[in-house]
């Protein structure tokens, strides 16, 4: 299993959790972003810089993710693409996106976009919290333990 991180919008605390988990479990981890992201020195951890542009990092992750890989992203269309290819998806708040729930998430995303496009203020997601970090760490540990079992 390879872990792919949509790193452009991934909180630093989540990257730090991923760095520790990759090292602890000897799992390859690749951060993909349109800027260089610093990583700790490790043969397991690397950063891939892609050109600037809309969804360029997402396209790179979608192209590279394979069945059994884990993708860390809050991007619902990217999640749908990699789930279709057999990858698992975990968002930075610790919520899994699966074949069972991705259509609902896509529908809600499209609905909210329609509201925004028509001028309705919908607000944004809640601020990222310490509880979100803990939820992510616990969910990641469960997924990595399943791999080892």
What's the length of the chain? 149
**pTM value?**
0.87
In whole angstroms, what is the distance from residue 83 CA to residue 71 CA? 9
Identify the residue whose tokens are 């992203």.
73
Strands 28-33 and 70-72 turn out to be unpaired
Count of beta carbons in the 10 Å neighbourhood of residue 140: 22
Torsion angle of C-alpha atoms 49, 51, 53, 55, degrees rounded to 10? -50
Distance of CA 149 to the CA centre of its chain: 23
Domains observed in the chain: 2-148 (3.40.50)
- Rounded CA-CA distance 100/33 in Å is 28
pLDDT one-digit tens code per residue, 59-108: 999 999 999 999 999 999 999 999 999 999 999 999 999 998 888 887 67
Q: At a CB cut-off of 8 Å and minimum separation 6, what does 89 contact?
A: 70, 71, 72, 73, 79, 82, 83, 96, 97, 98, 102
Q: Give per-residue pLDDT as tens, 23-69.
A: 999 999 999 999 999 999 999 999 999 999 888 999 999 999 999 99
Half-sphere exposure of 70 (CA within 13 A, CB side): 25
């Amino acid at each position: 299993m390879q872990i792919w991180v949509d790193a452009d919008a991934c909180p630093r605390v989540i990257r730090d959790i991923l760095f520790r988990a990759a090292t602890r479990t000897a799992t390859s981890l690749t951060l993909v972003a349109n800027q260089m992201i610093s990583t700790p020195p490790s043969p397991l951890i690397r950063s891939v810089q892609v050109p600037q542009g809309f969804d360029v990092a997402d396209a790179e992750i979608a192209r590279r993710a394979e069945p059994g890989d884990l993708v860390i992203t809050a991007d619902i269309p990217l999640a749908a693409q990699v789930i279709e290819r057999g990858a698992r998806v975990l968002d930075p708040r610790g919520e899994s996106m699966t074949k069972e729930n991705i259509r609902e998430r896509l529908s809600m995303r499209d609905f909210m976009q329609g509201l925004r496009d028509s001028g309705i203020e919908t607000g944004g997601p809640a601020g990222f919290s310490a509880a979100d970090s803990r939820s992510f760490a616990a969910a990641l540990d469960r997924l990595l333990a399943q791999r080892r079992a």
